[in-house]
Structure 1
Amino acid sequence: MPQPNSSPTPESSTLEERNRTFKRIALRILPFATAVYILAWLDRVNVGFAKLTMLDDLGWSDAIYGAGAGIFFLGYFLFEVPSNLLLQKIGAPKTIMRIAIGWGVVSVLMAFCTEAWHFYLLRFLQGAFEAGLHPGLILYLTFWLPAHRRSRAIAIFMSASPIALTIGSPFAAYIMRTTDGLLGAADWQWLFMIEGFPSIVLGVLAVFVMTAKPKDAKWLSPEERAHVSYELDKETAEQGHREQKFSAALRNRSVWVLILTLFCIITGNATLSFYGPSLITAAGFTDITSVGWIMSGIFLFGWMGMMVNGWLSDRRRESRWHTACAAGLGAVGLILAALAQQAGSPVGVILALALSAAGTMGSIPVFWSLPPRFMSGTALAAGLALINSIANLAGYFAPQFLGVIKTATGAYSTGLFIIAAVEFIAVALVLLFIRKETPNTPAEVPTTATSEIHS
């Protein structure tokens, strides 16, 4: 006979009780993760604004700038996997501390560049330090949240990228406009120093604010920690066998399908990020301030796409169609932008780019719920990093491709059609190579689908 005062077991807990536990976890871990990610994006893209005066001050050419900007992705590519493997060993707090302090210091040092090789070295180091942040935070969420609760959480912290792009442009312009010549430093130097310092502060705070795993969370009651263990253990049992060793996962073609899928999606995303202002200018908006605010509105739609699609994915416990349909919407937006440009419709271009941002950016958080279906442990840690590092090379190649097409044809429309076709490849890959989730079982107990990727 159970004792009258015995504590309820996780199995006997209600869905409402577990929902309260996971809501408390989300309110504790997501704000800091989002803040770190916002600063990462600000420090990554502020070089584009610094370029406006930096090149003239230092006597550099656009070729030097382009080479330095691209080297960032080389460092990013080389160090993502080692960083995530290290996180698996030493935990997220120490890893995020190392990453944030590292890129923050590098960003501040950018203010003291005088030679081209300084620029190349620091951009490489910035990419190397930032490399582990994105896959590291996704891996961190797998320690706390089962998959059916994870898409919305990923959407929240990844919304940092459109938020940073929305507020970053006006903020950078304000810094440069108000600090030029202050204490003998140029405006671009102040931009690097002011935007780099907060990253260092957050890096120091990481070890005090973040908790590595639920079992270490003194701010959770024993019953709440049991709720987390129950849902994570249940998910593990339902998913069956998943690769534990990275070498085995690396030989699985499913990993490479996911890499190609994300590469195609990021091709569209990079086009919006790097060529959005040029597309708006080509549509007839020549005032820089106006272009900045228009792009802010477009990226606001990207943020809305992330939040809505992540919420829908978790609510319906489905990620395959939510990834594919959002990516397809992004591709359609690029096609409509090309057609609007050909028709000479400035408003049409803006609306089409907003649609593309909502779809493309909205597909990315839900995509990241796919890899944990068939990998776990070390394989998941390294696999997430490998997928992200290779796929993000699209951020290096896509802008160059669109630039070459623009030079050859004199317009952006042909390049937009081609990039839209690339993004449609992502849709085909998801629908052809990723099995649909199995039907949900008992309604009271939230479950994660046992679907897997064809190999």
Structure 2
Amino acid sequence: MTSHTTTASQPFGGTDTPGASAAGQVVEESTYRKIAWRTLPLLFVCYIINYIDRANIGIAQIQFKADLHFSDLVYGIGAGLFFVGFLLFEVPSNLMLARMGARKTLLRIMTLWGAVSCAMMFVRTPTEFYVARMLLGAAEAGFFPGLILYLSYWFPAERRARVTALSFVAIPIATMIGAPTSGWIMRSFHQIHGLAGWQWMFLLEGIPAILLGIVVFFALEDRPEQAKWLSDDEKARLTHVLNEERRQKASNAGGGGHGHGGTLAALGDWRVYVAGLVSFCAYVLASTIAFFAPLVIQSTGVKDPFHVGLLSAIPPVVGIVAMLIVSRHSDRQRERRWHASVPLMFAAASLMVMPYLSHNVELAVVLLAVATAGHLSSLSVFWTIPSTYLAPASAAAGIAVVSSIGALGGLVGPSVIGYVKTTTGSLALGLQVAGCFVLFGSILLLVGIPARLLPKGVSGS
């Protein structure tokens, strides 16, 4: 009774290890807490900066569309082209992480994306805009699936949804911080030294990525075996748990293979492509929220960039609460599919009714909050699914393939909505089309990956 109470009370605690002694459980919980505090805060800040630099274009468009005479179609295509560069370099980047380690890979990714983000201030033509967004996507490629893969090196599957959710809290917090900050920079720095507010925004929000990349290189370890801040006993216990999990996954996947064989095994697993299509639909949702939520708010009559940013920061608060509740419940129930699917259904419904109910700013913010909550709740749970059935040698390639297919949704979503907005003058039809994609993804997750095809104990019913 005592050991159970202690385990349940830990913020990073999970399911008790079968057959472990009480002392063993205490050591294990303290190990996970130590790992969490040593890795998650830094990765958390990195993810905040990552998302700000990716999505700050949603606030910047309030000024630069008029300054550069860009249509909504040009904006939508440019926003989506980020994911083309992302797609082309996603798998190679994740394979490099598996071979070179997190420190070197994240140093490369973060310094490059920071430099490209700063260079966005020099954009003048649609072509330059398209090229810059593609380069930003290429630079950022590998960060997100690399984060998922990196967490799998330190935490077993039963703890990963909660840990992943804590990392993904960075997305709404990035919006809560980034949207008002971007709006404030654009308003306060406008025409200082002859630069527009949006130019200052890209410059000032790109520099932190470069600095953080250097910090990550010196602060993180690639694997638990390299962590000097873990005792030999903690390393041994953790390594044993993770190795047992990898052996079990390799057995479930039929061996998995090594090197190129592991990559081929991932490419030959049809569940990777089903998960990729679900990710595609989820990316449509994510890009719609990231790139068009400010435009939805602006269409209600709010024009000041700072005020648009403040209102854009409200939905993520709801998203954080929903994500933590859903991910915790998913871990307790050891069920993933329904916990990832149902939130997408709510988000789809929100997008579909938004054109009819968003005639005032209050309703617009409420509906955006529902969509954001659905997106974030599903996100943290969904990304635990591929790693449960991929063999260790296939995980890097498999996760990257899922993310790469999903990235196409990031291209399609903004492009379709931008085209519809340009041709009809309204966001209504574009939001409804996006909602249909999201609904399809939620159903596909349940039908395309039946519970019987997932490892026992994490699939649910």
Q: TM-score, normalised by structure 2?
A: 0.85
SS for the counterpart of 1:76 is helix
Q: Is the 8 A contact 2:120 2:202 kept in 1?
A: yes
Q: Is the 8 A contact 1:328 1:427 kept in 2?
A: yes
Q: Is the 8 A contact 1:340 1:346 kept in 2?
A: no
What is the distance in 1 between the residues matched to 2:129 and 2:437?
A: 32
Q: 1:347 to 1:60 in 2, by over 3 A?
A: closer
Q: What per-residue deviation string (whole Å, max 9, x for no partner) do you get for residues 289-342 of structure 1?
A: 44332221112222222222222222322212211122122223334434424x
What is the distance in 1 between the residues matched to 2:101 and 2:370?
A: 38
What is the distance in 1 between the residues matched to 2:453 and 2:264?
A: 28
What is the distance in 2 between the residues matched to 1:387 and 1:438?
A: 17
- In the other structure, the counterpart of 2:434 is 419
**360-369 or 325-334, larger mean C-alpha shift:** 325-334
* Residue 203 of structure 2, aligned match among 193, 211, 227: 193
- In the other structure, the counterpart of 1:280 is 297
SS for the counterpart of 1:402 is helix
Q: 1:118 to 1:327 in 2, by over 3 A?
A: closer
* Residue 288 of structure 2, aligned match among 271, 290, 300: 271
Specify the code of the residue in structure 2 equivalent to 1:324: S
Q: 1:288 to 1:401 in 2, by over 3 A?
A: same
Q: Is the 8 A contact 2:350 2:370 kept in 1?
A: yes
What is the distance in 1 between the residues matched to 2:180 and 2:272?
A: 39
SS for the counterpart of 2:229 is coil
Q: CA deviation at 1:126?
A: 1.4
Alignment of 1:431-450 (within 5 A): 431-436=446-451, 449=457
Number of residues paired by the alignment? 435
SS for the counterpart of 1:14 is helix
What is the distance in 1 between the residues matched to 2:273 and 2:227?
A: 36
- In the other structure, the counterpart of 2:343 is 326
What is the distance in 2 between the residues matched to 1:57 and 1:405?
A: 22
Specify the code of the residue in structure 2 equivalent to 1:253: W
Alignment of 1:286-305 (within 5 A): 288-305=305-322
Q: What per-residue deviation string (whole Å, max 9, x for no partner) do you get for residues 151-171 of structure 1?
A: 111112122222112221211
**279-288 or 215-224, larger mean C-alpha shift:** 279-288
What is the distance in 2 between the residues matched to 1:234 and 1:167?
A: 40
* Residue 47 of structure 2, aligned match among 17, 37, 42: 37
**Structure 2 stretches lacking a partner, 5+ long:** 1-18
RMSD: 2.9
Q: Is the 8 A contact 1:148 1:448 kept in 2?
A: no
Alignment of 1:372-411 (within 5 A): 372-406=387-421, 411=426
What is the distance in 1 between the residues matched to 2:342 and 2:132?
A: 39
Specify the code of the residue in structure 2 equivalent to 1:174: W
- In the other structure, the counterpart of 2:161 is 151
Q: What per-residue deviation string (whole Å, max 9, x for no partner) do you get for residues 30-58 of structure 1?
A: 11111111111121223344444446656
Q: What per-residue deviation string (whole Å, max 9, x for no partner) do you get for residues 48-71 of structure 1?
A: 444444466567666665554333
Q: CA deviation at 1:263?
A: 1.2
Q: TM-score, normalised by structure 1?
A: 0.86
Q: 1:17 to 1:128 in 2, by over 3 A?
A: same
Specify the code of the residue in structure 1 equivalent to 2:173: I
The sequence identity of aligned pairs, in percent, is 37
Q: CA deviation at 1:261?
A: 0.9
What is the distance in 1 between the residues matched to 2:371 and 2:402?
A: 23
Specify the code of the residue in structure 1 equivalent to 2:451: K
**Structure 1 stretches lacking a partner, 5+ long:** 1-9, 440-446
Q: 1:397 to 1:347 in 2, by over 3 A?
A: same
Q: Is the 8 A contact 1:147 1:448 kept in 2?
A: no
Q: Is the 8 A contact 2:246 2:392 kept in 1?
A: no
- In the other structure, the counterpart of 2:134 is 124
- In the other structure, the counterpart of 1:208 is 218
**254-263 or 423-432, larger mean C-alpha shift:** 423-432
Alignment pair present for 1:173 and 2:183: yes
**148-157 or 185-194, larger mean C-alpha shift:** 185-194
- In the other structure, the counterpart of 2:443 is 428
Q: Is the 8 A contact 2:59 2:294 kept in 1?
A: no
Q: Is the 8 A contact 1:108 1:192 kept in 2?
A: yes
Alignment of 1:360-371 (within 5 A): 360-371=375-386
SS for the counterpart of 1:393 is helix
- In the other structure, the counterpart of 2:4 is none
Q: Is the 8 A contact 1:96 1:203 kept in 2?
A: yes
**153-162 or 25-34, larger mean C-alpha shift:** 153-162
